[in-house]
Amino acid sequence: MPESQAAGAPPAIALHHLVRTFRGHGAEVRALAGVSLKVAAGEVFGIVGRSGAGKSTLLRCVNLLERPDSGSVRVLGEELTALDEAALRRARRGIGMVFQHFNLLSSRTVAGNVAFPLEIAGIGRAEREARVAEVLPLVGLEGKRDAYPAQLSGGQKQRVGIARALASRPRVLLCDEATSALDPETTGEILALIRSLKDRLDLTVLLITHEMAVVKAICDRVAVMEAGAVIEEGRVFDVFTRPQHATTRRFVSEVIGHVVPPGTVARLPPPGEGEERRLLQVLFAGPSSTRAVVSEASRRYGVDLNIVSGRIDEIAGEPYGLMALAAYGAPPAVENTVNWMRDLGLDVADIGPETLEHAA
């Protein structure tokens, strides 16, 4: 948790009960059905959800590019929905935005693109040039000042997009699928850049993505949206390791991976006479010794614990291990084993047909 949040500082972004309905040809789409969200200062907050879930509508409400039908939008302590046009323009300078398709002007150089919003804001030439000189090195483009977008790679174009967003010295950065048009390696570079800019410039970042790998790489907290509502929200580590909602589980399984390869399960020996076979998923948060647990459980309770699969990884810098075990033994012994592991603080869940089906 960022220090500023722990210290009880007001959130950088506080959305309260946002509703936004679009009326098409007779049909009505409720893009936001009452969304509330708080993003702490200094946090990288991710929003995930399937296409049409309302993510972009929500993000655009944060700078009132989209005006909600009702609800409150507080950014940096200011209620944006109450501002007049002039005050809103001023407030928007504190909120930078980065887009999926960069939205660069092809007829302008890198410097010209970065300076463009400053021009619109009526900032004079000398100040504009100073800002361009300030932000281009931040994104590693000091040598590309006079290049045109057509001469740049996708990653470089997005660096221009980020520099343009930073030119007004914002405190909040909104990113709508900022890496979705980039290859995985470039995605990694841009995410690392956003994370380091956040630290260096003391930014709060709210980003949309449909890729859980992006969330895993740079977010502190995440909200999952479905049909205009937030269905789950929490620290990335918690949401990834203990997803509550079926939709979240599906998203998370993209990156956590399939703990149980279906073929492996099919090849497991059947339980012996008077025994049961129980498939368990065991989550180790932190660097616990998995092997010690397995061998000690066997000694204590006389069960056989077969490691079916396992992996160790990191989420948001925290290590975790996920292991699938097949436990063989008399039902009470297996039950005792599970309870003992839970008493040790391990997260133990039965692997039901749902997980197996998903793996298939």
Q: With CB under 5 A as the contact rule, which of the stretches 48-56, 131-139, 228-236, 338-346 interacts with Mg ion?
A: 48-56
Among positions 56, 100, 241, 281, the unique one binding Mg ion when judged by CB under 5 A: 56
Q: Sign of dihedral through CA atoms 216, 218, 219, 225?
A: negative
> Helix, strand, coil: what percent of the chain each, to 5?
40, 30, 30
- Interface mask toward ligand ATP for 188-217; x: CB under 6 A: ----------------------x-------
* Residue 100 touching Mg ion (CB under 5 A): no
| Closest CB to ligand ATP among residues 208, 341 | 208
Q: Which of helix, strand or coil describes residue 83? A: coil
The residue with tokens 């599906």 is 250
Q: With CB under 6 A as the contact rule, which of the stretches 46-54, 126-134, 315-323, 327-335 interacts with ligand ATP?
A: 46-54
| Closest CB to ligand ATP among residues 101, 125 | 101
Among positions 11, 42, 46, 49, the unique one binding ligand ATP when judged by CB under 6 A: 49
Which does residue 274 bind out of ligand ATP, Mg ion, none, counting CB within 5 to 8 angstroms by kind? Answer: none
- CA angle at 80 for the pair 77 and 84, rounded to the nearest 5°: 130
Q: Does residue 234 come out as left (phi exceeding 0), alpha (psi in the -120 to 50 range) or beta?
A: left
Which residues partner with 229 through β-bridges?
Answer: 226
N-to-C CA span, the chain = 37
The residue with tokens 């470039």 is 186
Which does residue 329 bind out of ligand ATP, Mg ion, none, counting CB within 5 to 8 angstroms by kind? Answer: none
Q: With CB under 6 A as the contact rule, which of the stretches 21-29, 77-85, 193-201, 260-268 interacts with ligand ATP?
A: 21-29
* Residue 29 touching ligand ATP (CB under 6 A): yes
CB of 77 to Mg ion, least distance (A): 27
CB of 207 to Mg ion, least distance (A): 12
Q: With CB under 6 A as the contact rule, which of the stretches 52-60, 153-161, 189-197, 316-324 interacts with ligand ATP?
A: 52-60
Let me know if 229 is exposed, middle or buried by CB neighbors in 10 A (0-12, 13-18, 19+). middle
* Residue 57 touching ligand ATP (CB under 6 A): yes
**Assigned token pair, 65:** 């590019």
Among positions 37, 53, 165, 190, the unique one binding ligand ATP when judged by CB under 6 A: 53
- 283: nearest Cα among 312, 323, 317: 323
Contact of 310 with 360, CB cutoff 8 Å: no
CB of 56 to Mg ion, least distance (A): 3
Contact of 327 with 337, CB cutoff 8 Å: yes
Please count the other Cβ atoms lying within 10 Å of the Cβ belonging to residue 193. Answer: 17
Say how far apart CA 96 and CA 163 lie, in whole Å: 10
Q: With CB under 6 A as the contact rule, which of the stretches 10-18, 54-62, 90-98, 312-320 interacts with ligand ATP?
A: 54-62
Quick one: how many helices (H) and strands (E) in the chain? 14, 14
Which does residue 247 bind out of ligand ATP, Mg ion, none, counting CB within 5 to 8 angstroms by kind? Answer: none
| Closest CB to Mg ion among residues 56, 247 | 56
Residues lying near ligand ATP in the complex (CB under 6 A): 22, 24, 29, 31, 49, 51-57, 210
* Binding site residues, Mg ion, CB under 5 A: 56
